[in-house]
Amino acid sequence: MAKKLYVGGIPYSSTEDDLKAAFAEMGEVTSSAIIIDKMTGRSKGFGFIEMANDADADKAIAEMNGKDFQGRTLTVNEARPLEERAPRREFGGGNRRMGN
């Protein structure tokens, strides 16, 4: 079964293909994604790798966590499920007066 890994400390200049190639040395990579900031269009410095099986994922964690990758030290561990968050409150702009 596939296992998703969190990868932190990714250099801002790295591509998803760079990341996939580095992890492919540990086994079959089924997907790679670097998270991009919506406002700036730049990498946020972290992403996710999905390995084809648990053994390859465990090997990737053991070998890549703490490893130098393009000048930065990676943090690699098993990704946690996305937690539900409270809905965002919308704040209106402008000059609103209370009362009168």
- Within a domain: 70: yes
Residue 67: the pLDDT is: 96
Task: Tell which residue, 64, 53, 52, has the closest CA to residue 18.
Answer: 64
| Structural domains counted in the chain | 1
Q: What is the pTM assigned to this prediction? A: 0.80
What pLDDT, on the 0 to 100 scale, is given for residue 73? 97
pLDDT at res. 86: 76
Q: Is residue 27 in some structural domain?
A: yes
What CATH number is given to the structural domain containing 22?
3.30.70.330
Q: Which domain covers residue 65, as residue numbers?
A: 3-36+57-78
Examine residue 66 and state whether it is found in any structural domain, yes or no. Answer: yes
Tokens found for residue 11: 């250099």
64 φ, ψ to 5°? -95, -25
> Cβ of 9: how many Cβ atoms within 10 Å?
17
What is the per-residue pLDDT for 99?
Answer: 58
Q: What is the pLDDT along the chain (100 residues), one digit of tens a residue?
A: 789 999 999 999 999 999 999 999 999 999 999 999 999 999 999 999 999 999 999 999 999 999 999 999 999 999 988 777 777 777 665 555 655 5
Q: Which of 48, 69, 54 is nearest to 6 (CA)?
A: 48
Position 71 in a domain: yes
Query: Is residue 74 assigned to a domain?
Result: yes
Integer CA distances (angstroms), 62 to 23, 40, 65, 66, in order: 12, 33, 6, 9
State the Cα–Cα distance between residues 30 and 73, nearest whole angstrom.
23
